[in-house]
Amino acid sequence: MLINSIHHIQIMSLKGKHNMEGLIVEPSRTYQRFLSSAIELGGLGTKQVSIGSEALMLLRNQHFDLVFIAMHLQDMNASKFSWHLRADLHICQIPVVMITSNEDKELLDEAFSAGVTKIFAKHELDKITSYAAQFSNQKYKKAISGRILYIEDSQSVTNQTLTILRDNGYTVDRFANGEEGIRVFQNNVYDLVLIDILLKGRLNGRGTVKAIRQLEDQNKNYIPLLIFSVLDDVASRVELLRLGAND
């Protein structure tokens, strides 16, 4: 199916997003539920345990992106937990967020010294949600890379599309006509090409797709070409696919 809406770009950008997981270490089952809801609202999945030793064992055997831990547990406090985590080379880079109602500066400083990354008060669930969302977005952007050639002559459509793609971590080179786009494509390496079907100039979208697929460099034949189209008839879609468009 050919792309006919800017919203498809948003969906495409999210397809590769992996699910990130936060480990909650909290003795109260009731507060576990509150905390889990706040974190999941920020875009992270969650798993809950009640004691530090179980959490450390899980971290060594499963993948977690972030730990949320109560200040006091049955078997250890958050500072001791963080000390054990930082001493293990396999898991020492995982951020640790401590949740507490204690405002004792000495205890909070001790937690930071042991390797706790961030501290929130128990009632700050909105801030915890925001932190989880920010963490999820930043880590996702770091995980994404890719260079896109974007050929589009409408400035308004270009502005929307560039914002979405760049916000999701892609490097984008944009050109307003097929001739210039083809020239740049020949001299650079791209992971994806986006082309507007209704380009102005000597080459429209169809001509640009055809010209790219007829280039002698066989290595470039495998680069996906995605087409923006307002045309909804089957014949136009089939023609573009036969010319070499992937979607």
Tell me the CATH class for 145-243: alpha beta
State the average pLDDT for the chain.
85
Closest by alpha carbon to 45, among 74, 61, 24?
24
pLDDT digits (tens, 9 = 90+) for 176-219: 998 999 999 999 988 889 998 888 878 888 888 888 888 877 67
Contact 59, 91 (CB under 8 A): yes
pLDDT of 10 > 60? The answer is: no
- Least trusted range by pLDDT, from 13-27, 50-64, 173-187: 13-27
pLDDT digits (tens, 9 = 90+) for 79-93: 999 999 999 988 988
To the question of domain 21-142 being in CATH 3.40.50.1820, the answer is no
pLDDT of 70 > 50? The answer is: yes
Contact 14, 43 (CB under 8 A): no
pLDDT value at position 18? 46
pLDDT digits (tens, 9 = 90+) for 24-51: 999 999 999 999 999 999 989 999 999 9
Give me the residue spans of the domains in the chain: 21-142, 145-243
What share of the chain has pLDDT > 70, as a percent?
87
pLDDT digits (tens, 9 = 90+) for 98-118: 999 998 999 999 999 999 999
